[in-house]
Structure 1
């Protein structure tokens, strides 16, 4: 079972193994996927699909969709590297540790990542980039601040998972409060490619979403693991508890991913 650690608890060897596996997956397909497949899916399911269903954002399936997305990446990184100890680390943005260091995601935080880790010379290329540049872009701290511990605590205190109208306007919704006040804020805090729908171009995406998944798991252990709404039926425009989330395999429903113990990972 993979144990996902905070970036502050990672050893140098664990950091190196993680970033090298990402680089391998950029050019090598495993399990029918390479790294660019993940960017494709995020772009495709970022907003409502042609059949008018929201999967990845501004909808109840925000949490389970990204949980399955992270789970597949973790499996692919382990497969491509041959190292079953690799895990996706989480970035607790309320703490002092930063992922933007020379030995990890690269130390450039304002402008083009034109040298060091995740630069083109290192072996990282952009894909489906709406920013016209050959380099990964970051604008850390220029457009937003990181959520504080107090903000996280306030968001975690919401008791209702989600409710109608199941979108970005609902107020009494843990899912929507987390998505807007924590998730969106950190994407804007990092800026550059992280502030676009092709955000997985920046590997900071995975560390950020791993923390979002961790917070949901903490919320679940307090409020109930099987608390997803809407439960069953044919709720217009969103994924019900027992409906398959696209583009994942048949049966990958919110219900199927509700318990991380059955998914093969835990949080340190």
Structure 2
């Protein structure tokens, strides 16, 4: 059954509770042989260029479809572990939408740490493979960067070309690259703490942030075309092509396969 992904501001109390409880349950329960910590391992593994010489998750053309597949996989796992098919990943509109860092949702912050309440150790949230020496979830809101403005989002959304050679952070006329650098990276740095590391999924706001990135890409696709991924065919060195498998997903998971969210059983409110 298709779900509708809502903004944090539009969520009901019951929806918030269901989402965070599913995350907590997934920390200690396996689905299809993986628990929540497997997602942290996957993000660490695919953060940079892998042994096959390909950049899958970041600084390449597949940044947006890779994370779309990553989000979809987690959403399905949360539905399975909770037994609730209505569970959805909400999106955080960081241009001025409601903050997710509240005591009743992703946890309030005290001196840069989530040391009590939701997503604290006593609540049942442990830190895994952390490059930060702490047992508490760390956040440093605004210390390293500001969040993107609505004007910046409008500018990025106005780029008409999905991507182009050399498919890396040096490409200026590239929606994928501008989104990744000016929106995605900036929010990771704005939140800071664990969100500023390779093990960013330690912080559940990772999913809300990437859900908003995916929503913006979907809006861009609605204007520019759903089938606009570049590079198109063949095997471009170091890059995932339109019909090439994105690791670590199934062989059927290509950029082309995830281009249309109406085929992935979710939509955006």
* TM-score where L is the length of structure 1: 0.99
Distance in 2 (CA, whole Å) between partners of 1:152 and 1:31 is 37
- Displacement after TM superposition at 1:152 (Å): 0.2
Distance in 1 (CA, whole Å) between partners of 2:234 and 2:33 is 32
How many matched pairs? Answer: 268
* Gap change, CA 1:109 and 1:187, over 3 Å in 2: farther
- Displacement after TM superposition at 1:234 (Å): 1.2
- Displacement after TM superposition at 1:210 (Å): 0.1
1:24-53: per-residue Cα shift (whole Å, max 9, x none)?
A: 000000122210110010000000001210
SS in 2 for 1:117: coil
Distance in 2 (CA, whole Å) between partners of 1:236 and 1:59 is 11
- Displacement after TM superposition at 1:112 (Å): 1.7
Distance in 1 (CA, whole Å) between partners of 2:62 and 2:175 is 12
8 Å Cα contact 1:100-1:109 kept in structure 2: no
1:120-149: per-residue Cα shift (whole Å, max 9, x none)?
A: 000000111000111110001111111111
SS in 2 for 1:257: coil
- Displacement after TM superposition at 1:96 (Å): 3.7
Q: Find runs of 4+ consecutive structure 1 residues off by over 3 angstroms.
A: none
- Displacement after TM superposition at 1:109 (Å): 6.0
1:178-212: per-residue Cα shift (whole Å, max 9, x none)?
A: 00000000000000000000000000000000000
Q: Which residue number corresponds to residue 216 of structure 1?
A: 217
Q: Which residue number corresponds to residue 113 of structure 1?
A: 114
Distance in 2 (CA, whole Å) between partners of 1:26 and 1:115 is 17
* 2:157 is the counterpart of 1:156: yes
Q: Which residue number corresponds to residue 254 of structure 1?
A: 255
Distance in 2 (CA, whole Å) between partners of 1:154 and 1:2 is 29
* Gap change, CA 1:182 and 1:109, over 3 Å in 2: farther
SS in 2 for 1:54: coil
Distance in 1 (CA, whole Å) between partners of 2:41 and 2:86 is 27
Q: Which residue number corresponds to residue 89 of structure 2?
A: 88
1:51-71: per-residue Cα shift (whole Å, max 9, x none)?
A: 210000000000000000000
Distance in 2 (CA, whole Å) between partners of 1:174 and 1:244 is 22
* Gap change, CA 1:222 and 1:109, over 3 Å in 2: farther
Distance in 2 (CA, whole Å) between partners of 1:236 and 1:243 is 12
Q: Which residue number corresponds to residue 25 of structure 1?
A: 26
Distance in 2 (CA, whole Å) between partners of 1:96 and 1:263 is 26
SS in 1 for 2:124: coil
1:234-254: per-residue Cα shift (whole Å, max 9, x none)?
A: 100010000000000111000
- Please show how residues 56-67 of structure 1 align to structure 2 within 5 Å: 56-67=57-68
Distance in 2 (CA, whole Å) between partners of 1:109 and 1:206 is 22
Distance in 1 (CA, whole Å) between partners of 2:138 and 2:251 is 36
- Displacement after TM superposition at 1:110 (Å): 4.2
Q: Which runs of 5+ in 1 are unaligned?
A: none
Q: Which residue number corresponds to residue 239 of structure 2?
A: 238
Greater CA deviation, 25-34 or 217-226? Answer: 25-34
